[in-house]
Structure 1
């Protein structure tokens, strides 16, 4: 009898449980109304749930009652939650639409005109280590970028020339702050270098045009260098090189780090060993001191300080056409200081704030055959920026900037001085709109005002990118860019207005499994370029009257997969540029814009030898120049430029690197133009001298030793 009672009770409870269950059914779709299989559907706080089938449908039972939260989650999509009331036996949920989740790992990125070098982004072209191990660069950041698409190698200058633009049309920034006089001062036809050590930076952003509204006052390009965050260890770094040496010491913990470094270089011993075509009275020399500090602040902020001071000089005889003897003696001394501080923090509510202040001071003392000239340039930059993510699909980048520029030229003995001071204020706003996972639009503007020129302006900019395949992206960028003329012209005519350029860029980027292919076509127009009467050494009647254009395309291919332990990239750029500028009466091809540019870089690591072998080869079809013995302007062209460079990095121990490099291995005689006498000789001909490569071949040898507790740290970023 007792067993019958227990059996009856069991079936009664089973029936009651069955009657208490609720069946949930429904369907999950994406934003294009396509079925989403594999979506997790469950009641939060319980074990009840299921997954969608191939048709996006789900069905499961639950014993829960009352008001509950039904969740839908799937990797790559935003989790959706819906409040339901469990009272009926069966509930059919209306179709659920899951939105794609937007982040840097899977969202389309704008690649038109943009090339990044970073360890953090997937869309980079180069890594930081790639930049400093390019053989022809000799550790110079700009030297490495001269192997990238859109750039031209002007061997007797050393600065960055982009798509038919002058080197002054490239703006250089460190942590978002403009750097005044970023290149070392040098004599004519003696190549210069950027002042800053590549080991400072964790990544770079290089734009060949169409760049963000955050950057301005540059017609052609923006080069943004981002310094490292906290150092990961305390260590000392000793460098012994064929041209000098240096030492850097870093102190670091989890919250702060400090690096102090000093370097000295002197080409005099090298000049005595390796013959050069330069006629040095005193070979170049210099000394520098640099401090970089980082500090974590409360609630996730990061504060940085960077300061640098340096002094150097040279004395050089430059021969003059038609004049006997050694020519003109140029005695140059340069002192330079740069300091900046910045702070940034990202907040949990979607806001990110940035504020920074920088100051550059450059002084040149030049003695030209007994004429003493002092040239001083000071630039102050203050900036505040704020970005806000309204949602995963909408973000805004806004900011305000202030610049103060003071410039002076003084004939010391005569006591004659000319100078100007100027205030500029800028406001920028830029918005990113993710219209879908495959389509993004960026639009914005940059507004500015100049107290000296008494001018206001507004520059619109826009970009669009569409992911046409899993690995391919098509981008389009356009915009207006303005820049005040260089200081040597503005001091002659302070009323000069902005020069103007408009960019249109079409880009295709393909990246997959260690391979990158990038093709880009562009068109640039120029207005209000500087023109003057007379000769460049003594311009008269300086005015905004010039115009011109630059158009062309470039191709880049990089492969790290095909050949074992081998990485290489190939770049070709075509530029058709014409300008009516400076002293020219007609539109001419500038002498800094060769039509064809080709470069190849190869790096191969030999494991048994613990060595990396490097090769880089650069070519362009020659530079234009005006021969006064022939009719017309820019009527002649030099022969093709070629430079084959090799390097060898040997790591006998993890903390010891021996690095050697040589440029122009084949000894190609590169000519960059000709200097002509101002008056004809007795035969009516203007005599000339070639402007050649002063150092036909440059050799470098360096030993880099790192002192640290784990004995595994090294100076690879210094190579």
Structure 2
């Protein structure tokens, strides 16, 4: 731990100085690269970063948008221009000694275009996230995905196919080990029709999203309280034009209104969805016997106000109600499950570029109420979560970026009702325990991360996350590091290591059925991989090992203690290819997971240990 922290400090403090020393050396035979940087309206962009990929030679545009720098490199290189709020510019150029190359660069604002929903197998890939992509159209057209982001993600490697639901079981981890974030806010309940395996569908329609980033391991120090995966979503920006959209599908009907009020300054989107899944489940011959087919409706409002070129406020409101009834097959008792829930999220996000520092933050509130009945069990569950997030990103110079942030959460969870003493007892007259959980927790976390593109073409990302939780009194430090090494123009090797903590679900703190003195769970990730990317083809192979510690273990005296442990190891393979109108992908995952955990008194394969998972997706576009 200490050696890693010192290594991180070296990256943050020593490297820029040594880099400057290296740049002071003179070269007698050089090539000059010069030009201008403007936006689509022809306005000069000051302080844009222009550099050669894989080399620390570059410049920053002046107030007139002009730039110029010299390089001793020869051959063909990629010239990159980056500017926060705009799409990254890339162009291949040929360098020769004594040559003067003039390049006029026009950058396009990100908010003008509808960005794709992006899925990357692991978060330690290159920052441009152009690896494994999943557009909104692909979500809608993926066979069996029912136009649901979670179901579509399950067609990619690293996610186990556990039962008929949308739950993300990532690389040998339980569904609760994946965190979901929208516009910087934690989504505490990301599924409709919640169940122990997640839920039947994801909460948000893909048409509400501008972009999505999914990590199946090795993710950034920006994200915490998750042992296995992270799903990061961004809502849509100001709609480009007035539009009314009506959708009718096998399982749902939807309507959406896009209304730009002031061009590129103020706009809103309002949508509603109603789902009735009876026909879909019947056509797919579902093995689940429903007494009430999953039914839900939701309302969404997204307002964005851009008060300057780089600054904006975005308000997102979401309210959803659902219910479901299931007949539980049991040789002795007729068991019925019925659930009804209401889920609400209110989030205000802001973003601005101040003196070349990107400042982002959000204030959020979420409310969740659910009633559950199953034989002798009935539970009322209420969640209230207040949260804030403030982060900063600063590019010190081309190829060296710092990120830091502070997040805070205030959580209240109430459970009231009766549960069987034996959790698996479906007898309607079973002996029960009274549950009265009033869990109130305050959590504060901070992170620091550096991304450094070295002169040797290596990309190094190192970070440190600290977190404190008021109930357990735990203060944890999670160091993380990842490396990307391009070995050719189209392929690269990757490696990542990191420590991850997560606090137990609130119900385990109940003084009668749980233990109020539980501490956080821990997982350590080790990942290596190879990626080949060229035009319409992607090949990715990754191997991983996760070591679990401090897992919850059933105890006859204290109900639960932090003495469980386990591991998960495996290999993920992904191949994606396009042949004109024909496209598709093949994914395969091998997994071996073992846990001494909950009721398991020795290392045992958990129920989500699916050894082999494979998916083949083929599409043909008619247009």
In the TM superposition, residue 242 of structure 1 has moved relative to its aligned partner by 3.7
Aligned residue in 2 for 1:429: 448
Match of 1:139 among 147, 158, 181: 147
Aligned residue in 2 for 1:303: 313
In the TM superposition, residue 456 of structure 1 has moved relative to its aligned partner by 0.5
Q: Which of 1 and 2 has greater Rg?
A: 1
CA distance in 2, matches of 1:163, 1:436: 34
Match of 1:478 among 488, 497, 513: 497
**CA deviation digits over 1:390-428, x for unaligned, max 9?**
111321000000011211111289996221100000010
Match of 2:547 among 513, 525, 548: 525
CA distance in 2, matches of 1:467, 1:354: 31
Aligned residue in 2 for 1:575: 591
CA distance in 2, matches of 1:370, 1:360: 30
Does the CA-based 8 Å contact 2:311-2:353 persist in structure 1? yes
Does the CA-based 8 Å contact 1:364-1:376 persist in structure 2? yes
Does the CA-based 8 Å contact 1:30-1:97 persist in structure 2? no
Whether 1:318 and 2:328 are equivalent positions in the alignment is yes
Higher relative contact order (CA 8 A, sep 6+): 1
Does the CA-based 8 Å contact 1:112-1:210 persist in structure 2? no
Match of 2:343 among 323, 328, 336: 336
SS at match of 2:331: coil
CA distance in 1, matches of 2:568, 2:246: 45
Whether 1:265 and 2:283 are equivalent positions in the alignment is no
Aligned residue in 2 for 1:503: 525
Does the CA-based 8 Å contact 1:117-1:204 persist in structure 2? no
CA distance in 2, matches of 1:399, 1:444: 12
CA distance in 2, matches of 1:305, 1:402: 19
CA distance in 1, matches of 2:606, 2:564: 13
CA distance in 2, matches of 1:586, 1:515: 44
**Structure 2: which 5+ residue stretches go unaligned?**
1-21, 36-49, 62-69, 82-87, 92-119, 420-432
Aligned residue in 1 for 2:85: none
Aligned residue in 1 for 2:575: 557
Aligned residue in 2 for 1:566: 582
Does the CA-based 8 Å contact 2:303-2:314 persist in structure 1? yes
Whether 1:158 and 2:162 are equivalent positions in the alignment is no
**CA deviation digits over 1:620-679, x for unaligned, max 9?**
xxxxxxxxxxxxxxxxxxxxxxxxxxxxxxxxxxxxxxxxxxxxxxxxxxxxxxxxxxxx
Aligned residue in 1 for 2:32: 39
Compute the TM-score of the two structures, normalised by the length of structure 1: 0.67
Does the CA-based 8 Å contact 1:251-1:257 persist in structure 2? yes
In the TM superposition, residue 367 of structure 1 has moved relative to its aligned partner by 2.9
SS at match of 2:207: helix
| RMSD of aligned Cα (Å) | 3.3
In the TM superposition, residue 312 of structure 1 has moved relative to its aligned partner by 1.9
Does the CA-based 8 Å contact 1:430-1:443 persist in structure 2? yes
Aligned residue in 1 for 2:395: 389
CA distance in 2, matches of 1:189, 1:212: 26
In the TM superposition, residue 455 of structure 1 has moved relative to its aligned partner by 0.9
Provide closer, same or farther for how the CA distance between residues 175 and 263 of structure 1 changes in structure 2, counting only shifts above 3 A.
same
CA distance in 1, matches of 2:482, 2:282: 54
Does the CA-based 8 Å contact 2:495-2:527 persist in structure 1? yes
Compute the TM-score of the two structures, normalised by the length of structure 2: 0.77
Aligned residue in 1 for 2:302: 292
Provide closer, same or farther for how the CA distance between residues 573 and 33 of structure 1 changes in structure 2, counting only shifts above 3 A.
farther
Aligned residue in 2 for 1:596: 612
Match of 1:211 among 214, 219, 233: 219
**CA deviation digits over 1:439-491, x for unaligned, max 9?**
12111100000100011111111111111111111111111000001222233
SS at match of 1:193: strand
CA distance in 1, matches of 2:569, 2:530: 17
CA distance in 2, matches of 1:466, 1:117: 10
SS at match of 1:132: helix
SS at match of 2:508: helix
Does the CA-based 8 Å contact 1:213-1:430 persist in structure 2? yes
Match of 1:409 among 391, 415, 429: 415
SS at match of 1:438: coil
SS at match of 1:431: strand
CA distance in 1, matches of 2:157, 2:408: 32
- Give the total of aligned pairs: 522
Whether 1:460 and 2:476 are equivalent positions in the alignment is no
CA distance in 1, matches of 2:183, 2:125: 14
Provide closer, same or farther for how the CA distance between residues 281 and 571 of structure 1 changes in structure 2, counting only shifts above 3 A.
closer
CA distance in 2, matches of 1:512, 1:547: 41
CA distance in 1, matches of 2:396, 2:298: 45
CA distance in 2, matches of 1:216, 1:371: 33
**CA deviation digits over 1:179-210, x for unaligned, max 9?**
11111234568951111111111221111111
Does the CA-based 8 Å contact 1:116-1:203 persist in structure 2? no
In the TM superposition, residue 359 of structure 1 has moved relative to its aligned partner by 1.8
Provide closer, same or farther for how the CA distance between residues 541 and 121 of structure 1 changes in structure 2, counting only shifts above 3 A.
closer
Aligned residue in 1 for 2:357: 351
Does the CA-based 8 Å contact 2:132-2:538 persist in structure 1? no
Match of 2:565 among 508, 533, 547: 547
SS at match of 1:246: strand
CA distance in 2, matches of 1:575, 1:599: 15
Aligned residue in 1 for 2:426: none
CA distance in 2, matches of 1:540, 1:401: 32
Residues 43-442 of structure 1 aligned to structure 2 (within 5 Å) = 78=58, 103=81, 113-114=122-123, 121-186=129-194, 192-252=200-260, 253-267=263-277, 278-323=288-333, 327-347=334-354, 349-369=355-375, 372-411=378-417, 417-436=436-455, 438-442=457-461
